[in-house]
Structure 1
């Protein structure tokens, strides 16, 4: 199967069959020394980095509105080297976005904190899939979305209105799986709540909220994939989703 899905187009997704393989990722096995050396360099530049566990894909495909894939648990240090050597690596990255839609139809994103890998970058609150996000070996993308939003913003989206399906946008840098989560509060109130939460954190992951009110309202530091998601939302594409 390898990596077989259209690039740079938003795809409707009715089911996600991405499974966690208990074996090591081939990229981790073949690059052990380089991973260790790169990690020494990364932590020297940013001592706040933590070598936790995330997952990397070894396969991903799209057929009949479904995503099929296989991934492996790796250390974050492995992921950091992969970011530099992703071309022809036999590995890819997938991550999930809860597209937070306020009651006034504005989008609420976040700006990452200065001590993080993506310092200053703007995207929806998110993080890489971790082993905790899998149920009987199958990824639970919504659990990941709700968990990451809660950890970074303090908001609980477990009772929010979810879009009827997921969507995916695959680029050479990774595949984002996203879904609308609608809440009743206006964007300003959500931003206030997020800012209040950040103020209570000793080492917050994010700098604060970013409100996006229309397709031309593109903030500085916006991650490249976000422009397509923002335009898609404000175009009213699949409004019931």
Structure 2
């Protein structure tokens, strides 16, 4: 299932949350409980809240339509740590492809207290009930800017967000990216973000990395979908 990525551009993304009876967690309660205990050892900031996973993705011309459902975070982590045993489910999230005015990208290095400590990728988070609207839609655009603010300290007035979405499908991940461009070079922006991280009481990031070209892709610490995205971007230059 972890084959080559499918990458496409769309002008619109629609997302909805619908009830879904996920069988896998019901059959794996003991594993999920033990896995959660292992995962949270020494990480008191982790809590078992609710998150949204993808049960369906469809494309219609320039539209990407996503259907989510709610699960416990512990169930989500159990699914990850069992090596994604249910191929009908995917982890789908919005993500800002942050870059400086010079075109270089800026990724975060996840902090030691997080689930993905040491991993390198753009600021992002799995959607959760905070992203739900009264009409049942999932506000992925706001999720993107909120995660940027929480992790990097950047506010919406600090950058420009492209209207276009870039969908990177590399199961079990579906990343919905928008280009986010700062008015300053990447190194200057990276210094500002590092200062913001230092000022945070419980930062999610421990550092940032500037990615200028294919030589900066880290196959050990970057997820496959991000490696695919960077390869696609740099091939177009």
Deviations 1:170-205 (A, max 9, x none): 112211110101121111221111111111112211
Pairing of 1:31-180 with structure 2 (within 5 A): 31-44=28-41, 46-85=43-82, 86-88=84-86, 90-135=88-133, 136-158=135-157, 160-180=159-179
Indicate the larger mover: 212-221 or 201-210.
Answer: 212-221
* RMSD over aligned Cα atoms: 2.3
Tell me the residue number matched to 1:3. none
Indicate the larger mover: 18-27 or 206-215.
Answer: 18-27
Gaps of 5+ in 2: none
Cα displacement (A) at 1:156: 1.2
Question: In structure 2, how many angstroms separate the alpha carbons of the residues matched to 1:198 and 1:34?
Answer: 35
Indicate the larger mover: 35-44 or 129-138.
Answer: 35-44
Question: In structure 2, how many angstroms separate the alpha carbons of the residues matched to 1:12 and 1:144?
Answer: 19
Indicate the larger mover: 177-186 or 8-17.
Answer: 8-17
Q: How many residues align?
A: 232
Cα displacement (A) at 1:159: 5.8
Please give the TM-score of this superposition, normalised by the length of structure 2: 0.87
Please give the TM-score of this superposition, normalised by the length of structure 1: 0.86
Deviations 1:37-73 (A, max 9, x none): 3212322364442212211122222332322232112
Question: In structure 2, how many angstroms separate the alpha carbons of the residues matched to 1:58 and 1:218?
Answer: 30
Indicate the larger mover: 78-87 or 123-132.
Answer: 78-87
Change (3 A) 1:26 1:138: farther
Cα displacement (A) at 1:80: 0.5
Moved over 6 A (4+): none
Change (3 A) 1:230 1:7: closer
SS in 2 for 1:211: strand
CA contact (8 A) 2:152 2:196 kept: yes
